[in-house]
Amino acid sequence: MSGRLPEYELFDKSTKAIIYNMQTAAVQRMLDFDFACRRETPSVAAIVNPSGAGIHKCFWGPKEIIVPVYKTTHEAAAKHPDADVFINFASFRSSYKTTMEALKEPTIRTLAVIAEGIPERRTREMIAEAKKQGKWIIGPATVGGMKPGCFKIGNTAGPIENIMDTNLHVPGFVGFVSKSGGMSNELYNLIALACGPKNDEGKAYPALYEGISIGGDKYPGSTLMEHLLRYEANPAIKMLVVLGEVGGEDEYEIVEALKNGTIKKPLVAWVTGTCTKLFPGEVQFGHAGAKADDERETADAKNNALREAGAVVPESYDDLDEKIHQVYNALLEKGEIQPIPIPEHVKIPMDLAVAEKAGLIRRKTNFICTISDDRGEEATYLHLPISTVVEKEMGIGGTIGLLWFKKELPECARKFIEMILVIVADHGPAVSGAHNAAVASRAGKDLMSSLASGLLTIGPRFGGAIDDAARYFKAACDSGKTPEEFVNEMKAKGTNIPGIGHRIKSVQNPDKRVELVKEFAKKNFSSNRYLDYALEVEKITTSKKNNLILNVDGCIGIAFLDMMESSGVFTKEEIDDVVRLGYLNGLFVIARSIGMIGHIMDQKRLMQPLYRHPWEDISYNIP
């Protein structure tokens, strides 16, 4: 890949990168920069995620694109041989290993190592291997770098809004290199504002051609001097800016290059850390290399040496922008540079999450929740913290009241619901729900799959009569039909009366569960008009056949109507909604889930290698 670019260029408008680790924000910032630069193709070719391969969706301007994700660098490099930049977001613990792996890939030419704190011995090994292969390392402990109009590394220069405000997406003529990543971001803005006239909006014309942060470690993968030599060799760069740092002697290489004429282009330089002389003792700044071990390594000594060698050095950092502007004006007067017009900005759409946070847009939610809220310190059911529900001993009946009906039910209503759950939790293994759940369990399915198999059979012939009984009996009673008229009407339609009839139980063999529901309703509800109506219907149906009794499903649905009417917390419209929307079968779902799980676990306990499968009970009689 090195043959595509001159030796002094690391990036161009077709440069593509492989990103190590799922740094999705950095990826999106790179793509936004690409789009602003009017690149024809995205600069992110692939992502390496050791945890698993796949795809990553991101934006290319207003459209969504897909970036492939691979488990290894080798696979990513093999699939994308045109990607010659490797941006390593691995932690300091794994940066050495992953960087050395990337160095082995022949298609990788430039590596940016973001992590701080890599052991110095490991860093020197990475540098030695890169030098041996003629490759570039930017970092460690770097934010990366950028080349306006072409390419940027990760989070360099911050959000796209900052970049476009200072026209850092348009190529200029200044080659800049810095040790500090944070200061490099500041210098990008300073250079942009210090060079050139302002346009009608008060923004400077483009100035930066390329900027690199080499990182603040004692042993950087590439030095200030090495990048300045690239800039010196590049005819498009007319002016150099360097930001050094207290500690080390790298800046003295620049001093010698100025003295012997290796660097001929005008150079503005500043070494940060002049404030160290104000401290009584030795000062260690944030970077590993930012510490002066002797007078020669102080910021003042290096600034003086650079000034004496011919660099333009301000008296303080506050004057740095003025010095840059002076050099710019001198080049302008000589005709060596021309102000570069700013092209019309490409519109980068704002991400929805960012716009929402800033209060710039509003949108309707996809779902509305009015029964619970987990946004506060404690989750609530309706308006009550869960701890309050527990402290008030509202139980499962009270919880159902809050979450289903959005009401605090009176005690008798809560007890009624809990009694229903107890008496219909199970009715043996022969009913369809229990049977299906048991068969699925014996077939080796997990608990949830087995339970779902059983629940799917709940319907008109298994549990569904609770809702239908409430619906039909309420309509008949409320309309003023006599029980006899109701029975005759259903017979004329050819429709069985929901809640009436039992395969085993009869007048002579009553269902104890029905007796419990009736007894509770008569004792606790102030009105039993629906239950009384149903019992009158039962007298008519049992006179025809003694097993056409009010069964447990029907009794529950009908008694529930009386409970709601007697509780004093439901309006007529709310009772109508409960029946219309089909809440009551939910009681059967909850209760039978308890029983079905019992059957599932029972089968798992009993199942042995020689235990017969249910289909072995089938007898065949094929003619």
Kindly list the catalytic residues: 287
Residue 596 — φ and ψ, nearest 5°? Answer: -65, -40
| d(C-alpha 144, C-alpha 11), whole Å | 12
Based on C-alpha coordinates, what's the Rg of the chain?
39
> What does 574-604 look like in DSSP terms, one character per residue?
HHHHHHHHT-THHHHHHHHHHHHHHHHHHHH
HSE (CB half, 13 Å, CA atoms) of 40? Answer: 3
For residues 205-242, b (16+ Cβ closer than 10 Å) or e, as one string?
A: bbbbbbbbbbbbbbbbbbbbbbbbbbbbebeebbbbbb
Q: List 221's β-bridge partners, or say none.
A: none
| d(C-alpha 343, C-alpha 76), whole Å | 35
> What does 407-472 look like in DSSP terms, one character per residue?
S---HHHHHHHHHHHHHTS---S-SHHHHHHHHHHHTT--HHHHHHHHHTT-BTTBBTHHHHHHHH
- Three-state DSSP state, 286: coil
CA geometry: angle 543, 548, 549, nearest 5 deg: 100
C-beta of residue 196 within 8 angstroms of C-beta of residue 156: no
Q: Quote the DSSP letter at residue 223.
A: -
C-beta of residue 403 within 8 angstroms of C-beta of residue 369: no
CA geometry: angle 51, 53, 56, nearest 5 deg: 105
| d(C-alpha 135, C-alpha 126), whole Å | 10
C-beta of residue 442 within 8 angstroms of C-beta of residue 615: no
| d(C-alpha 423, C-alpha 439), whole Å | 24
Q: List 70's β-bridge partners, or say none.
A: 48
| d(C-alpha 470, C-alpha 531), whole Å | 10
Question: How many CB atoms neighbour CB 411 within 10 A?
Answer: 13
- Three-state DSSP state, 151: strand
CA geometry: angle 384, 386, 391, nearest 5 deg: 95
- Which residue in the block uniquely carries the two structure tokens 């001198």? 330
CA geometry: angle 98, 99, 104, nearest 5 deg: 100
Q: List 74's β-bridge partners, or say none.
A: none
Secondary structure of 347-365 in the HEC alphabet?
CCCCCHHHHHHCCCCCCCC
Alpha helices in 24-173 (DSSP H): 24-36, 73-79, 95-103, 120-133, 160-165
Question: How many CB atoms neighbour CB 380 within 10 A?
Answer: 18
